[in-house]
Amino acid sequence: MKRSATLPPAFTSLILAFTCLFSKRTWQHVRVLLVGALLTRGPRTVASALRAMGRSGDRHFQNFHRVLNRAQWNSRHGSHLLLRLLIAAFVPTGPVILGIDDTIERRWGPKIKAKGVYRDPVRSSKSHFVKTQGLRWMSLMLLAPIPWAGRVWALPFLTALAPSERYCQQHRRHHKTLPDWARQMLRQARRWLPDRTLIMVGDGAFAVLELLADLVALPRPIICITRLRLDARLYAPAPKRRRNSAGRPRCKGCRLPSLKQRLADPQTRWQRLRLPNWYGQGPRWVDIASQTAVWYRGGSPPLPIRWVLLRDPKGRFDPQALLCTDPQQTPAQILTWFQMRWQVEVTFQESRAHLGVETQRQWSDLAIARTTPCLFGLFSLVTLLANRLATAGRLPSRQTAWYQKQRPTFADALAAVRTQFWDHNSFYLFHPRTNLIKIPRPLFRQLKDAVCYAA
């Protein structure tokens, strides 16, 4: 049913922006897979996408598989195009805030070569360690306010496969750690956005002195905000060098008390601060202490930072510390930016629940490297498409008698996009004075297949 691959007018210009990545022949297959991936419920395989598009009888189905495992197209160029669209839609001015984190895609099988054994961050806790086998992905996301959602969303635009150390040893390749991947991806983002202020927000895995010093040393530095260990070695700034003094200039001053010592010190000055929205739980009061210092470790360059020590007056969470590589930023601003990082975890969960991440079944190395980044990018594309449908800053959301939803979620955005596709390609025949709608038989079979079979 080739007619089902047509695009609604509201989406045409946005989707056609990616035609430059593919040849004319490949684009015809890409368009079918794209719309099929949006309409499919459950596993995101090529076969399920074809069934959702009414193409289950296509004898040349192998051409759709070749889009992922053989066709020549540049995924990094696609990431650049997606980032430009996201910036134009949600962050046309001001600083660009980027969240970065890794996630594990649980996959196994003898043909999944790049898999490894990692700690499962979802099932593990401080007292319980759970290992899982799968692929590790590093994702860089734009943290942007969505007007019709009323909050910040994390929108992936660049995702890379970080193979296991064993895989690199077997294939005689240099193994790159997570900070190595973060350095490479953030440098790429800086090249794509040379004139914008970039702010990176990450968890404690990216509190690596060499990584932060490298990003600060760029011609246009990237401001980094991460967690900081309570026992980090902090120093005062180096004293001014006296004239005619011998030896190399000092890179640090005297040793300062650690943040762990400041927590126990009754002389520490605390400031009560009200945060308007604490991880979606409403306003909360916290105690903070903040100063500037130099973070230094032997063999690494000194890094001027502003540290922020945070504790809950009611003891509902353990004390924690943050660092910012721009000492001029205020503690309130640092906390506001860092709270956005949690949306990265929300995006990972939403992508698994609604876009079929971890349900792919590709075995080809190239298809594996392409499919998961495409699904994460689909999250951002759905947000852009839903933004085209929002009128007066509002997007309709499903309401029930037992749950009144205040703001639309990603599930509502995906439903609005799917509805637009179905309405555009349905060709309903009806009389305005009756409630009867006539649906063509092929479309009815397509809808029945989508609704009745197991998700």
What lies within 8 Å, CB to CB, of 178 at 6+ separation is: 102, 138, 162, 205, 206
* Contact status, residue 155 vs residue 142, Cβ threshold 8 Å: yes
d(Cα 430, Cα 42) in Å, to the nearest integer?
32
Range of lowest pLDDT (17-31, 123-137, 149-163): 123-137
The mean pLDDT of 78-97, rounded to a whole number, is 97
The mean pLDDT of 379-387, rounded to a whole number, is 97
Sorting pLDDT into bands at 50, 70 and 90, what band is 42?
A: confident
Query: E strands, 24-166, where?
Result: 96-106, 116-119, 131-146, 151-161
pLDDT above 80 (res 125): no
How confident is the model over 257-295, as pLDDT tens digits? 999 999 999 999 999 999 888 887 888 999 999 999 999
Q: What percent of the chain is modeled with pLDDT above 70?
A: 96
The mean pLDDT of 106-121, rounded to a whole number, is 84
Nearest to 358 by CA among 383, 341, 375: 375
Of residues 198 and 432, the one with the higher pLDDT is 198
d(Cα 453, Cα 455) in Å, to the nearest integer?
6
d(Cα 55, Cα 28) in Å, to the nearest integer?
13
Annotated domain spans of the chain: 2-74+365-452, 203-239+249-334
pLDDT above 70 (res 302): yes
* Contact status, residue 119 vs residue 131, Cβ threshold 8 Å: yes
pLDDT of residue 2: 43
pLDDT above 60 (res 393): yes
Nearest to 101 by CA among 411, 361, 340: 340
How confident is the model over 227-264, as pLDDT tens digits? 999 999 999 998 887 777 777 778 888 999 999 999 99
pLDDT above 80 (res 427): no
pLDDT above 60 (res 75): yes
Supply the angle between the helices 24-39 and 62-69 in degrees, to the nearest 10: 100
* Contact status, residue 90 vs residue 144, Cβ threshold 8 Å: yes
Rounded (10°) CA dihedral 138, 143, 148, 150: 120
How confident is the model over 429-452, as pLDDT tens digits? 555 566 677 777 877 777 777 777
How confident is the model over 328-374, as pLDDT tens digits? 999 999 999 999 999 999 999 999 999 999 998 888 999 999 999 99
* Contact status, residue 397 vs residue 409, Cβ threshold 8 Å: yes
Place of tokens 């395989």: 45
The mean pLDDT of 196-212, rounded to a whole number, is 95
Nearest to 222 by CA among 87, 100, 332: 100
Q: Average pLDDT of the chain?
A: 90
Overall residue count recorded for the chain in this entry: 455
pLDDT of residue 432: 58
pLDDT of residue 253: 85
pLDDT of residue 454: 60
| CB half-sphere exposure, 287, CA atoms < 13 A | 13
